[in-house]
């Protein structure tokens, strides 16, 4: 078992990449891995999912009226496993792009850049998205 990458290390700080979880913690069709971010000054929930081998991250904030999407804690996929579904009014989103494909969504989900390296998953901060 390898040690947790140092989230405050020089490399992470300089590049904006923050360790989230082990790659094995994100499995297709399983629960998402939740995390918190400061988005535009407000603490928001976010989540990461695995889909078709890739890792994708989004703010847990629907583009319809800003409610959290999960229909059970950390469950975002619909029964087909193909779409992210908002529990409030049923908007469907493409897991790979965040694009709204059906329902009342008003645009895509707010994407968070993700990457995997050495068995770990990282998310990337930016000017409007910071660690809590």
Applying CB under 6 A, among 55, 62, 109, 129 the residue interacting with ligand FES is 62
Applying CB under 6 A, among 7, 28, 30, 65 the residue interacting with ligand FES is 65
Q: Does 86 bind ligand FES (CB under 6 A)?
A: yes
Q: Does 7 bind ligand FES (CB under 6 A)?
A: no
Applying CB under 6 A, among 16, 21, 74, 88 the residue interacting with ligand FES is 88
C-alpha 109/C-alpha 14 separation (Å) is 26
C-alpha 39/C-alpha 43 separation (Å) is 6
The stretch among 16-24, 27-35, 71-79, 84-92 that binds ligand FES (CB under 6 A) is 84-92
C-alpha 105/C-alpha 119 separation (Å) is 34
C-alpha 120/C-alpha 114 separation (Å) is 11
Q: Does 104 bind ligand FES (CB under 6 A)?
A: yes
Nearest CA-CA partner of 110 in 101, 121, 99: 99
The stretch among 15-23, 41-49, 64-72, 76-84 that binds ligand FES (CB under 6 A) is 64-72
C-alpha distances out from residue 54 to 27, 42, 90, 105, 119, Å = 10, 28, 24, 23, 13
Residue numbers at the binding site for ligand FES (CB under 6 A):
62, 64-65, 67, 86, 88-91, 103-104
């Amino acid at each position: 078992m390898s040690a947790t990458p140092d989230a405050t290390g020089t490399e992470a700080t300089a590049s904006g990449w923050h360790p989230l979880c082990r790659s094995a913690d994100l499995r297709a069709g399983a629960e998402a891995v939740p995390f918190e971010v400061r988005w535009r000054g407000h603490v928001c929930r976010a989540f990461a999912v695995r889909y078709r081998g890739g890792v994708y991250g989004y703010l847990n904030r629907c583009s319809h009226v800003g409610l959290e999407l999960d229909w059970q804690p950390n469950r975002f996929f619909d029964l087909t496993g193909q779409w992210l579904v908002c529990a409030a009014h049923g908007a469907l989103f493409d897991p790979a792009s965040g694009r709204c494909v059906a329902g009342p969504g008003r645009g895509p989900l707010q994407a968070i850049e993700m990457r995997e390296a050495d068995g770990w998953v990282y998310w990337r901060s930016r000017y409007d998205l910071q660690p809590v």
